């Protein structure tokens, strides 16, 4: 479809396995709103699972669909401010020409969770790229951030790859914080995908006694070592349980952060974590996962903690990258035109890639 001055190109989710690159109306700013000209948008594992029809997104006989299609996909975006609605500059501190990023969630500001300051658990829970009630996502040329959106200015010193990685890094920071890592802890991070590699860098900054990273791909384990992992394990050849117990006097790790999105990663964690340990569950799963809950209670009395989104960690992510304490080098492996989104989604699941960015 040919474009006019009132349209733009975007990747629109119409349903499972039905994503289309098409012309849609270009947004304009209402009161308090900001229009971003998108610089890049990453493909998240949740985007891949949503496109593939995972039940947690599209619902089943016991739960309604969370995704409200049609909707422009994408929540790992950043852009340049090109339009400010009435009062938006005063509200956000942004000016035309600034680079900015919005948090994934647009909190309602009225529910019990928002009212108590837990905005990331908002009961309404509008997330960019999944529900259109508030705003579309960032896989487009332009994007509207509504008046309740949480925006952050991006310093000039950050590269395109760094700016696009703020959202995944912010999520990783929250998960690591949930682990409450202490100086004498042995920490295991399971899964060295983009966010797992972010977690490894952040956990290393916490200076635990020992940092162990587990993954099935050796190239990602090599990156983990570069980012501060003391030990890396590949379950395809290493006896993970025996090795972790060997490194911990037979007890098991103090903190286990699950970032694989695989049921195997959950069962592995319950096996190698010590009694009274802290188990942090971060991943988005494509299907339900079953475990022996007696391990959690009767056998180990574990502290099981979820980690959702990135509450108040966007400024931390920006600061860590600005100070060069966290890097995207080796993590952002591919950048491609948004029109090549089919190849982008394929690459997002390929062993030879880690983080794929789509560029308008």
Taking only the tens place, the pLDDT of each residue in 73-111 is: 999 999 999 999 999 999 999 999 999 999 999 999 999
Domains held by the chain: number: 2
At 303, phi and psi to the nearest 5? -100, 100
Q: Return the DSSP state at 313.
A: T
Q: Is residue 265 part of a domain?
A: yes
CATH of the domain at 117: 3.90.180.10
Task: Provide CB contacts within 8 A for 318, sequence distance 6+.
Answer: 152, 154, 155, 158, 166
Please indicate, yes or no, whether residues 136 and 204 belong to a single structural domain of this protein: no
- What's the CA angle centered on 99, arms 96 and 103, to 5 degrees? 115
Please indicate, yes or no, whether residues 109 and 128 belong to a single structural domain of this protein: yes
Averaged over 116-145, what is the pLDDT?
Answer: 95
- The number of beta carbons lying within 10 Å of the beta carbon of residue 122 is 21
Q: How far apart are CA 268 and CA 279, in angstroms?
A: 11
Please indicate, yes or no, whether residues 11 and 155 belong to a single structural domain of this protein: yes
Residue 5: per-residue pLDDT: 62
Please indicate, yes or no, whether residues 239 and 157 belong to a single structural domain of this protein: no
**Domain with 124 in it:** 7-165+328-359
Please indicate, yes or no, whether residues 116 and 15 belong to a single structural domain of this protein: yes
Q: How far apart are CA 192 and CA 37, in angstroms?
A: 31
Q: Is residue 320 part of a domain?
A: no
Residue reference for tokens 């960032």: 138
- Residue 228 burial by Cβ neighbours in a 10 Å radius (0-12, 13-18, 19+): middle
pLDDT tens, position by position, 283-301:
988 788 899 999 999 999 9
Q: Is residue 254 part of a domain?
A: yes
Task: Provide CB contacts within 8 A for 217, sequence distance 6+.
Answer: 192, 234, 351
- Residue 98 burial by Cβ neighbours in a 10 Å radius (0-12, 13-18, 19+): buried
Please indicate, yes or no, whether residues 157 and 297 belong to a single structural domain of this protein: no
Please indicate, yes or no, whether residues 177 and 154 belong to a single structural domain of this protein: no
Q: Is residue 313 part of a domain?
A: no
Q: Is residue 107 part of a domain?
A: yes
Please indicate, yes or no, whether residues 176 and 161 belong to a single structural domain of this protein: no
pLDDT tens, position by position, 194-241:
999 999 999 999 999 999 999 999 999 999 999 999 999 999 999 999
- Peptide linkage before 70 cis (omega within 30 of 0): yes
Percentage of the chain modeled with pLDDT above 70: 98
Please indicate, yes or no, whether residues 214 and 265 belong to a single structural domain of this protein: yes
Is residue 16 very low, low, confident or very high in pLDDT (cuts 50, 70, 90)? very high
- The number of beta carbons lying within 10 Å of the beta carbon of residue 331 is 24
Q: Is residue 314 part of a domain?
A: no
Please indicate, yes or no, whether residues 176 and 214 belong to a single structural domain of this protein: yes
Please indicate, yes or no, whether residues 298 and 350 belong to a single structural domain of this protein: no
Q: Please count the residues of the chain.
A: 360
Q: Is residue 294 part of a domain?
A: yes
Is residue 2 very low, low, confident or very high in pLDDT (cuts 50, 70, 90)? very low
Averaged over 250-254, what is the pLDDT?
Answer: 98
Please indicate, yes or no, whether residues 11 and 159 belong to a single structural domain of this protein: yes
Q: Is residue 1 part of a domain?
A: no
Averaged over 51-57, what is the pLDDT?
Answer: 89
């Amino acid at each position: 479809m040919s474009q006019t001055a009132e349209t733009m190109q975007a990747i629109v989710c119409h349903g499972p396995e039905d994503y289309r690159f098409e012309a849609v109306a270009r947004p304009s700013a209402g009161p308090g709103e900001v229009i971003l000209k998108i610089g890049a948008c990453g493909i998240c594992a949740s985007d891949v699972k949503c496109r593939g029809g995972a039940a947690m997104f599209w619902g089943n006989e016991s739960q309604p669909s969370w995704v409200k299609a049609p909707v422009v996909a994408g929540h790992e975006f950043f852009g340049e401010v090109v339009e400010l609605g009435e009062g938006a500059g005063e509200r956000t501190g942004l000016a035309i020409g600034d680079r900015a990023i919005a948090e994934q969630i647009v909190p309602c500001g009225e529910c019990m969770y928002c009212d108590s300051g837990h905005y990331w658990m908002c009961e309404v829970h509008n997330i960019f790229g999944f529900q259109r009630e508030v705003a579309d996502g960032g896989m487009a040329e332009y994007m509207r951030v509504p008046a309740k959106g949480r925006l952050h200015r991006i310093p000039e010193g950050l590269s395109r790859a760094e700016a696009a990685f703020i959202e995944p890094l912010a999520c990783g920071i929250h998960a690591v914080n949930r682990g409450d890592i202490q100086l004498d802890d042995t920490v295991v991070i399971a899964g060295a995908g983009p966010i797992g590699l972010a977690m490894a860098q952040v956990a290393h900054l916490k200076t635990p006694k020992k940092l162990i990273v587990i993954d099935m791909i050796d190239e990602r384990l090599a990156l983990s070592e570069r980012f501060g992992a003391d030990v890396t394990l590949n379950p395809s050849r290493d006896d993970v349980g025996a090795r972790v117990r060997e490194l911990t006097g037979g007890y098991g790790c103090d903190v286990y952060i699950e970032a694989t999105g695989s049921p195997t990663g959950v069962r592995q964690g319950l096996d190698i974590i010590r009694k009274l340990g802290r188990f942090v569950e971060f991943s988005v799963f494509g299907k339900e996962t079953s475990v022996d809950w007696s391990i959690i209670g009767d056998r180990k009395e574990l502290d099981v903690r979820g980690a959702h989104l990135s509450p108040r960690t966007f400024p931390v992510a920006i600061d860590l990258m600005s100070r060069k304490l966290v890097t995207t080098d080796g993590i952002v492996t591919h950048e491609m035109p948004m029109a090549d989104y089919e190849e982008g989604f394929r690459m997002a699941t390929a062993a030879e890639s880690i983080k794929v960015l789509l560029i308008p």
